[in-house]
Structure 1
Amino acid sequence: MLEILEAKDLTPYAAYETPGVTLHAVESMTAGGCSGFAVFSYGTDTVTVYACDAKGDLALYDGIARTVLFKAMLRGIDRANYLCDTTQLKKLHLCDPHSNTCSSIAELMNGCAGCKEKKD
């Protein structure tokens, strides 16, 4: 069973450390170990994503990225800034088309609710 969990050990992500910034990471865990991750930090009104990788699995990438955005929403944060490659994020419409940001996480998540209603 796949789980996306907050990483307890940030040692594998030391390359993303920045002075004055508290890093967080989520990892997708299966019986075989870690199959993907995202490294991020919370600011006052923005979550900054430094890396997101799912080893080529677009659906898993979507789940990892949305987990980060949801965790930010729980903290009252509504913007995301991506310092990582945004190719997959743009395919998934998790990033504004002409920038490396998500200007409204709430709108993005509420947009998904609209898609579900159309399917019902």
Structure 2
Amino acid sequence: ELLGPFCDITDMFSGSEYPTANLYFENVWKIDMFLKEQSHSRDKVIRDMALNMRAKFDKYWSEYTLLFAFATILDPRCKKVFLKYCYKKLYDDEEKAIFKLSQVIAKLETLLKEYTMSIN
């Protein structure tokens, strides 16, 4: 039950010849949401395992989430709307979601400004 979503997402990435960055963000977000949900399980074994997995997930994926968020914003199919939706679901708080989105946008703008200055 706990490992099913991981298997499904791994199969999806393995089966795709060219997985794109926006797919990574969406599926990493799904894993994060799943672990969040399971960390409140009534089953103590599942809950403890999910909490342990979530700690490792946060440790290893927190750095990459920003890059995937950039790719999601730049994807014309997703843009900021999808990112805001994901953050609202993840944080259960619209204000926190908007703050997180504004942080991502500010960092992307900084990156673009630095790039523009470097080519001029």
TM over 0.5: no
Q: Which has the higher contact order (CA 8 A, sep 6+)?
A: 2
What interval of TM-score do these two structures reach, taking the shorter chain for normalisation?
A: 0.3 to 0.5
Higher strand residue share: 1
Larger Rg: 2
TM-score by length of 1: 0.34
Higher helix residue share: 2
